[in-house]
Amino acid sequence: MRNHAGKAEINGKKINYYIYNEELISDDKPFLVFLHEGLGSIRQWKDFPASLSEKTGLAVLLYDRYGYGDSDILTEKRNTEYIETEAS
């Protein structure tokens, strides 16, 4: 099992992420993406992503949304469509 933590720069913001079972990522296989709830972070998932990865044989990507967890701190006001914008 090869896990990987890091920060990716997206739209000028550093986004914290964690990958379980990175060696399972391939072009012909899906992987699972975990999006935490409105005020959460990666830490709230605890051991569930690792367990699900082991049971399904799929890699898992978790990330802290901008302004949450260990991602960059929010510096601007959000509009009412911010969740739709982040999800797209």
DSSP helix/strand/coil, 51:
helix
C-alpha 32/C-alpha 80 separation (Å) is 28
Domain ranges of the chain: 4-87
Supply the pLDDT for residue 34. Answer: 92
pTM for the whole thing? 0.83
C-alpha 50/C-alpha 85 separation (Å) is 28
C-alpha 16/C-alpha 56 separation (Å) is 24
| pLDDT tens-digit series, residues 8-67 | 999 899 999 999 999 999 999 999 999 887 778 999 999 999 999 999 999 999 999 999
C-alpha 40/C-alpha 56 separation (Å) is 24
Per the CB < 8 A criterion, the answer to whether 5 and 17 are in contact is: yes
